[in-house]
Structure 1
Amino acid sequence: MEFPILETKRLNLLEIKEDHVDHIFIIFSNKEVTKYYGMSPFTQKEQAENIIQSFSKNFQEKRSIRWGIVLKETGEFVGTVGLNNLLLSSKRTEIGYDLLPEYWRKGIISEAVESVVHYCFEMLDLYRIGAVTFPENESSYKLLLKLGFKKEGLLRGYIYQNDKSNDAFVFSLIKPDWKK
C-alpha cells in the first residue's frame, strides 16, 4: 500500500520519514505536548529515530498510519495525526494527534482530523473511529465532540503515565453518524 498523502486548505499531511527526526524530537520532547500523551517526553534524538521507524513498520504491516502535519504557507512541520490499532478486517481504528503549543487553538487539529476521518470512512471503508483522552485534557475532548464524536464512557486506569495508572475517556464516531 502506498502512503496516502492528504491535503486540506491549509495543511499537507505527509509520511513521516527519517529526515523529519529533528521535528519529531522537538514535538515529542515538549512537556506540554506529551502531558496527555501516555508517554514521557523524549530526551534523546534516538527516541525520535525509533518512533519514526515504528511509524513506518506499523504502516507497512497495515496496523497504523501516522501523518506529519505541515503548514502549506510556511512548510513548518507542527505536529502529527494518525490512526492506531488499525484493524481493516474489523473496520475500526483509533485516532490520535499532537501539535506544538504555539499552534494550539488555530483549528489546525480540527482540519487535520476532519481530513483523516474522511479518509477513514471513504477510502479505508471503516465503520468506527475511536479516540481516548485524559479527562483533564478538556481541549482535546471538546474538539472530538465538536467533530461529531460521542463520549462512550470512562476507562478506569487505562493509561499508564508518570508512574501511575490514569483514567481515560473513550469516544467514537461511526460511519452512519458521520454521514448525517
Structure 2
Amino acid sequence: MEFSSMETERLRLIEINQEHKQKIFEIFSKEEVTRYYGIEPFQKIEQAEKMIDSFQKHIQENRAVRWGIVPKDTEELAGTIGLNNLQIWNKRAEIGFDMHPDFWRMGYTSEAVKKILEYSFQQLNLKRVGAITYPENKASNQLLDKLGFQKEGLLRSYINLPEYSQDTCIYSFLKEEWEQR
C-alpha cells in the first residue's frame, strides 16, 4: 500500500518518520496516554524509534497504516491515528488513536477519525472499521458513540498484560452506515 497524506479543515495527517521521534516519545511517555493503550509509558527515546519503525514496517506489509496528527495552526505533532489489523481482502480494519494531553478536548481526534473513516470506505473500500477500547476509557467511548460507531459488546480478557487481563469494548462502523450519513 502506498502511504497517503491527507488534510482536513484544521489538520494535516502525515507520515510519521524518525524526525518525529521526540514528539512520539513525549506522547507515549505520558501515563495518561498509555493507560488505555496496553503498554507502559516510554522511558527511553529508543522505544519511540522502535514504534516508528513498526509503523513503517506495517505499512510496507499492508497490515496497518498510521498517520501523525498535526494541527495546521501549530505545525506540531499532536498525536497519531491509524488503521490496525488491516485486512484489505476481508475489507476490515480497527481504528486507533492517541493524543498528547495538551491537545485533548479540541475536537482534533473527532476530525481525524472522520477523515480516516472517509479514507477507509472510499479509498480502501473497507466494509467495516472496528474500534477496541477499555470500558473505563470514557473519553474514547463517548467519542465513538458521538461519531456513530455501534457498540457491539464486551471482549473478556482481550488484552493480556504481564500483571492482569483487560476486558475491552468492541465498536464498529459499517460502510453502509457511512453512506447514509
TM-score by length of 1: 0.98
Inter-partner Cα distance in structure 1 for 2:74 and 2:131: 29
Which residue of structure 2 lines up, in the alignment, with residue 116 of structure 1? 116
Instruction: Provide Cα deviations, 1:145-169, integer angstroms capped at 9, x if missing partner.
Output: 1111000000001122462101100
Residues 131-170 of structure 1 mapped to structure 2, 5 A cutoff: 131-161=131-161, 163-170=163-170
Q: Structure 1 residue runs of 4+, over 6 Å off?
A: none
Inter-partner Cα distance in structure 2 for 1:161 and 1:70: 31
Which residue of structure 1 lines up, in the alignment, with residue 103 of structure 2? 103
Which residue of structure 1 lines up, in the alignment, with residue 41 of structure 2? 41
Inter-partner Cα distance in structure 1 for 2:12 and 2:160: 32
Inter-partner Cα distance in structure 2 for 1:23 and 1:13: 15
Residues 1-180 of structure 1 mapped to structure 2, 5 A cutoff: 1-161=1-161, 163-180=163-180
The letter of the residue matching 1:41 is P
Inter-partner Cα distance in structure 1 for 2:38 and 2:161: 5
Inter-partner Cα distance in structure 2 for 1:99 and 1:26: 10
The letter of the residue matching 2:61 is E
Q: Secondary structure at the match of 1:159?
A: strand
Inter-partner Cα distance in structure 2 for 1:80 and 1:86: 16
Structure 2 unaligned blocks of 5 or more: none
The letter of the residue matching 2:13 is L
Q: Secondary structure at the match of 1:40?
A: coil
The letter of the residue matching 1:83 is L
Q: Secondary structure at the match of 2:62?
A: coil
% identity of equivalent residues: 53
Q: Secondary structure at the match of 2:89?
A: helix
Shift of 1:2: 2.6
Instruction: Provide Cα deviations, 1:112-145, integer angstroms capped at 9, x if missing partner.
Output: 0000000000000000000000000011011011
Shift of 1:65: 0.3
